[in-house]
Amino acid sequence: MANKNEKLIEEIGGLSVIELADLVKDLEEKFGVSAAMPVAAAAPAAAAPEAAAAEEKSAYKVTLKEAGSEKIKNIKALRSVVANLSLTDAKKAVEEAPTVIVESASKEDAEKIKKELEAVGAKVELS
């Protein structure tokens, strides 16, 4: 059996591109099949973004969009909600807004940070 397949593969390998195209057409006609990719195979790939959108996010990026008018209150609030944030880093984040404060936070933590910062006049975005 393997010998028969090897001979067939050898013969197909010796054909030109035009001869291969003709062979494919002949095989399609003979067996009533198509070498084209089925359209139904593309449908699940198109549905994937919708399924991903339906799932709730597990990690949120917290961005300080605008610090507001009271810089000191914003710095204090930022230091209270973000662990291990130095005074210098907090001041820099407030002064250089918009700034990403937390790259990956749980939904509860992200909402807590947002609530605390908005309480002192900052504008925060979760994404």
Query: Per-residue DSSP letters for 66-127?
Result: E--S-HHHHHHHHHHHSTT--HHHHHHHHHT-SEEEEEEE-HHHHHHHHHHHHHTT-EEEE-
43, 109 in Cβ contact below 8 A? no
pLDDT in tens, the chain (127 residues): 678 888 888 888 888 888 888 888 888 888 888 776 555 544 555 555 555 554 567 788 888 888 878 888 888 888 888 878 888 888 888 888 888 888 888 888 888 888 888 898 888 888 8
CATH topology for 60-126 is Ribosomal Protein L30; Chain: A, (3.30.1390)
Tens digit of each residue's pLDDT (9 = 90 or more) over 26-62: 888 888 887 765 555 445 555 555 555 545 677 888 8
In 3-state terms, what secondary structure has residue 16? coil
Residue ranges, CATH 3.30.1390.10, the chain = 60-126
Q: What is residue 37's DSSP assignment?
A: P
